[in-house]
Structure 1
Amino acid sequence: MADDEDMILARRAKLVALVMVGTMFAWIGLNWLGTGLGWPARWLFLFDLAALAAFVWSLAVTYQIWRRRRDKQDG
């Protein structure tokens, strides 16, 4: 049973890593593209907010993973 939980936590950690890397590439790429094509600043700000939301989600899931592993070690 503990191995199943470890696998679930490992999958979540991999998902968090993929979201963080994907967010960085998308954010940088969209800002570069938007600046080059002269998109309005409000669209670029929207990309910033979307990236921020993805990073906040990643932080929240990372905290949950940390708490579960810490509780498992204590108990």
Structure 2
Amino acid sequence: KTSLAGIFAGVTEKDEQPGENTFERILTVDGEETTLIVMDTWENDKLDEGDPSSHGDCLKVGSAYVIVYSVTD
């Protein structure tokens, strides 16, 4: 999952910083500049269970989403 996030973000493994899980990339789509933000942060143990809005906050910042998950992890 992390490798796929890096591909979308345009980051190679040698460029990755330890602990970094949010990447930003500016793209041109149909002649319009847009910002792609890739967040590799959806781990249950890192979310604050005391704050029910923490899940929803991740989904409030964009207009399109790709969800990638593993059925073996």
TM-score after normalising by structure 1: 0.32
Q: Which has the higher strand share?
A: 2
Q: Which has the higher helix share?
A: 1
Higher relative contact order (CA 8 A, sep 6+): 1
TM-score after normalising by structure 2: 0.32
Tell me which structure has the larger Cα radius of gyration: 1
